[in-house]
């Protein structure tokens, strides 16, 4: 899996700080904007905003990620997050090569017997897929035999508010391992990029009591301060 930040709102923290300040100010927008010249001022107001749960102002900052070598199973989970934009590699127009590397879940990797059975089935799928293409069957029809383990690549754009919601669900220890790994990588990236927006982001348990019916009972990563 590869996750990288491709683009983000210029001075994302400052933009959100301006929006937050404007909500409680009677002065003109340009004067509010000029107020934030120092990083410590931006961090101070954003920390106050985030801790107060005034998340609407975070919608003015967006982040675009490039993700590669993830499964179609992950994609099915990811696209349930509606306030986001996705561009995904097409199985209709992109023909997979015979050496396509399917995604293998960690739980199966750890079991040698299951791993062999898993690999054997995927090998047969590779060969049959190639046979279809060689026979002139279009990729858009040959793809019907491709499993959820098929690799894909995509571009994701979310604003800071939706990212925090995404992290609260998908960074949780109870989330499926592949999407959890991706979400944690994304969180690590934006924390370094704009720590004032994501210092306490992550699963709900880093801020409040866990609401899961069956909590995992395990500590999560330390919250940045």
User: Which residues are known catalytic residues?
Assistant: 170
Coil, strand, or helix at residue 93?
coil
Provide the H-helix boundaries in 66-225.
72-78, 106-109, 112-134, 139-142, 160-170, 177-193, 195-198
List, as own/partner pairs, every contact residues 141-144 make where C-beta atoms lie below 8 angstroms and the sequence separation is at least 24, other chains included: 143/91, 143/92
Residues near 46 by Cβ (< 8 Å), separated by ≥ 6?
Answer: 13, 16, 17, 20, 196, 197
Query: Smallest Cα–Cα separation from 72: which of 178, 148, 179, 154?
Result: 148
Rg of the chain's alpha carbons, rounded to an integer? Answer: 22
């Amino acid at each position: 899996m590869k996750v990288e930040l491709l683009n983000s709102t210029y001075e994302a923290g400052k933009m959100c700080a301006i929006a937050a300040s404007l909500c409680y100010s009677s002065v003109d927008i340009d004067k509010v904007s000029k107020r934030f010249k120092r990083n410590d001022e931006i961090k101070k107001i954003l920390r106050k905003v985030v801790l107060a749960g005034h998340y609407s102002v975070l919608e003015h900052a967006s982040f675009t990620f490039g993700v590669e070598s993830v499964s179609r199973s992950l994609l099915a989970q990811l696209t349930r997050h509606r306030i986001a934009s996705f561009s995904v590699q097409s199985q209709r127009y992109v023909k997979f090569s015979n050496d396509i590397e399917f995604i293998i879940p960690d739980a199966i990797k750890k079991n040698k017997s299951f791993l062999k059975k898993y690999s054997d089935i995927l090998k047969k799928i590779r060969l049959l897929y190639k046979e279809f293409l060689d026979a002139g069957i279009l990729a858009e029809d040959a793809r019907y035999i491709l499993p959820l383990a098929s690799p894909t690549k995509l571009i994701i754009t979310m604003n800071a508010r939706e990212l925090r919601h995404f992290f609260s669900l998908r960074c949780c220890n109870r989330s499926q391992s592949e999407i959890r790994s991706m979400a944690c990588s994304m969180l690590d990236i934006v924390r370094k990029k704009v720590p004032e927006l994501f210092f306490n982001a992550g699963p709900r348990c880093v801020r409040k009591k866990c609401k899961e019916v069956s909590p995992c009972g395990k500590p999560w990563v330390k919250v940045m301060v």
